[in-house]
Chains A and B, each alone.
Chain A
Amino acid sequence: MNTPNLEDMGCGTSSATKDKKSEKALKAALVIQNWYRGYSARLKTRQRYALTIFQSIEYADEQGQLQLSNFFSFMLENYTNVPEKEPGLVTRLFGSSIQDKDRQDYLGLIEIPDSYCGPRLQFPLTFTDIDLLIEAFKQQQILHAYYVLEVLFETKKVLQQMPNFTHTNTSPSKEITICGDLHGKLDDLFLIFYKNGLPSVTNPYVFNGDFVDRGKNSMEILMILFVSFLVYPNDLHLNRGNHEDFMMNMRYGFTKEILHKYKLHGKKILQILEEVYTWLPIGTIIDNEVLVIHGGISESTDLNLLHRIERNKMRSVLMPPIPMDGDRAEKKNKLGTATVALGIRTSGSFSEQLTKQEWEQVIDILWSDPRGKRGCYPNTNRGGGCYFGPDITSKILNKYQLKMLVRSHECKPEGYEICHDGKVITVFSASNYYEEGSNRGAYIRMSSGTTPRFFQYQITKATCFRPLYQRVNAIESSAIRMLKERMISRKTDLIRAFQLQDRNKSGKLSMGQWAFSMENVLGLNLPWRSLSSHLVTTDKDGNIDYMSGFQDVHIQKPVKEVQSSLIETVYRYRSDLQIIFNIIDSDHSGLISMEEFRSMWRLFKSHYSVHIDDSQFDELAERMDLNKDGSIDFNEFLKAFYVVHKFDQLNKSDTKLA
């Protein structure tokens, strides 16, 4: 019986009335509790759904990396087909801009003006420099490029001496702290240091990769971590993450942050940084028992091989080794001679790259995710690395006599998660990663022989903590917004898929049909039925008006005369275009020539099978009038493509360009 009868039950003796009164109160309490628990559960579910949306989109974006990587390979392998005037493009794309200048060549030219009132580091660095930096960054000061470069040079020098895996030991009196992804969220790092103490000889740390990208203080985090490392090289351990990669930075924000904060010397910083990344260790092994790496493992993970490889040859996940198998020998020779002739020093001068096997081993370490399903299979969500099951974990841990794997790479609502029978721990240290209120951050303290202890936190901007329903509303709106932008960027394909199923041309589909098309076209595995109420209108028969999904969003047309399909395509691929432009723009001026712009588009178009008239694109470029002396400001170009949400009060641009 669910709905209690609250009506008057008539009168009786005084004690009976008292009983009836308390019975009524009991029933009333039950009603309220029942209702509240239902409401609370639905709130938590909405929060979970929002996180699922964020995560699916994030991984789908990473999968886009694979296509981009294929594009680069395609370009390199087919450069002979590239018309005569294009070699310049290829050189710019693949030529290494790192010449072996020494440190003086860089630093000698930089002067720190007297007016500089930011922090001044003193080499050799000591713990006072760590304090100095933290205080300065709390006041939002920016460290001068001179010091940034000094720190980077020194860090590279020290890292070069270190093996691929750091081996360290704990004791009951010397616990070690492991932190996961920080992604430029400086407040989280401050909070960790506040709760757990600064790094020191008695307070060692492992930072498990992904220090940068997405958040707005990647540089400050990197400086604090590198300076701490230089002061305590044996107690502050850094592992490389998949975002310690100069190409990932182009897409996910760090490159932009550097060029913005360091307008004069940003280019130099980017050049050195690229190298420093390649010298970061692949992992840390604690007490010969605990393996700490950023992503995960695969069934073929070979720690002995990984100990041996020349890790600094791993430049980027987007630059796989050029194939060198037998039947391509002729092509390789042609490639080789021509490569030399053009003066291209690619990451693929063949002695300078890893073997395919070695490269894949590193990718697995940086990109894989654990799952409940047994076995090992390609990580299709991300497009790199694999999914590994509990049997794989057992196999690899046993093979190397290890007890546990600690990794990061995935955002978890509670900041950490244990799986595979306690053998795999995920630790993620960027709270509110997707949105304020989306998740907690965590860190682990452990020492040999004791159970690991977990510490959670969440940064909150509000002085008084907002009630749960407000926080859930916020992240839900944000997630739905992102999803709608996805939808609009694939509008043409979606409509085609809907119409294929809509035989009667009624404009309506069943829930099942609509969900099927959404999942297929967008490639996102989401609870479409539950989300439908946020995305489309449904009639009383439960059928969906599929065009209603596009009603309150549209992509801003920077130029009226150009077709919607072109606008949609540029919007959809804007992140990839951002990376490509950044690579072509080797002097980081923000400008590329109209000619380069056009040829890059033509190549991109053919590889991605985009069917749009060249003339349309030319028209677009011309009309946008972003020409500055025959060059195009590509950041301005891409910024002009953004989604407008009808119900935004302020018509704010919603670009999430790197």
Chain B
Amino acid sequence: QSFQSLQRKRGIMSYSHHRRPYQHGHGYGYGHGHGHGHGGYGGGGSHSQQPQPSAASVAAAAVAAASAPAIDDEDASSVQQVVMEGLVVLKIAKHFHEEQMSGNRIVQGLLFGLVQDTRLEITNCFPFPRQSDDEEAANSGFGIVPVAEFDAAKYQLDIQKNFRQLNADYLTVGWYQSSAGAEFLTKEFVESQFHYQVGVLDAVALVYNPLKTSRGQLEFRAFRLSPALVKLMSDEDNVNQQRMKELMVNQANLVQELPVIIRNSHLANVLLAELEDSVASNAFSGLSLAMGSQLERQMKSLSTGCEVILQESSKYLNYQRSYKKYEKALQDQKMKIVYENQQRAQRGEEPLSEDAIDKSKLPKIGNPPVALDPVLVSAQLHQFTSELLETVGQSYGKLMLAEGIQFN
């Protein structure tokens, strides 16, 4: 019986034209991992579409557990560190490289592994196919799956079935995504991670930064939503200012970053040693002093982000102003009624009820602005600033290096 109440909706991917100009909108589908003794699965119920200009609809995952305990009871994940195998690193790098040939898309996929004490080990991964809303692209035969047809849940189950036969880990421990620099904190990102986290307590979102790889560094960062944010989002219709204040959700508290290390088995290390000479790469390409374009790009993202924040602020101010007007008008009407009632009492007539307030005379107010968005944007901007500061630090170091070489 309880199964029926938890409807399983099809995973829908959508490519949203995000109103934030500097980010690629990309809805994600997902499935849920097989339970492996993780208590406290949240109930991933139905997801109502948010009133947003962009249509990023994300379907809910079904829950394997018979009952859906309340989110409040779940313990925070005990995972402190993420350990990746070299295999996953290479697969993700390769996936991105191959996708990149056909346009600069964000690539995503699933992560599989297991949880051991305080470590989340990622031992395998599998990419999602390219999806697009564009009918033409879908029929062009390049394997681009039309959004409406892609059943993410079934895809994931197929992979898990096959992995199980191969004795590979098949518990979904998260998902990965590539991102240009630090721009990954979009609404879709948070929503997707939310649904994964609800299904598997320890799920992480792994963000791969391919720009650094071209400079000879590797950047993988693991994130999960803070418990406060999970609590906030689990009660969807109530994502407003008040709750956010209660739960203390501010831009510093949205996501938690987990340290990532890469570990290879002994045999894999032997293999890497064998490959050391034949697979050569320029170890010093990262020392190039030409950081100009990099810094420019980051500054541009930063400035667009600031514009968005400005818009959000002004929206909020407008809303506040109109709300004040509304309140004042309401008060006036109430006073009038009280006065009326006094007069009526004098004349011995029935007092008017408050319902007699003529609602149509009150000024209109729009919907309150979505409270989570500005917080999200400012968190994203924070990421940008950190990234920029890092790059600045690096450039400075390189300058010092160059100076040392010149005068020695």
Asked if A and B are interacting partners, one says no
Instruction: Give the A-binding residues of B (Cβ under 8 A).
Output: none
A: residues with CB less than 8 A from B are none
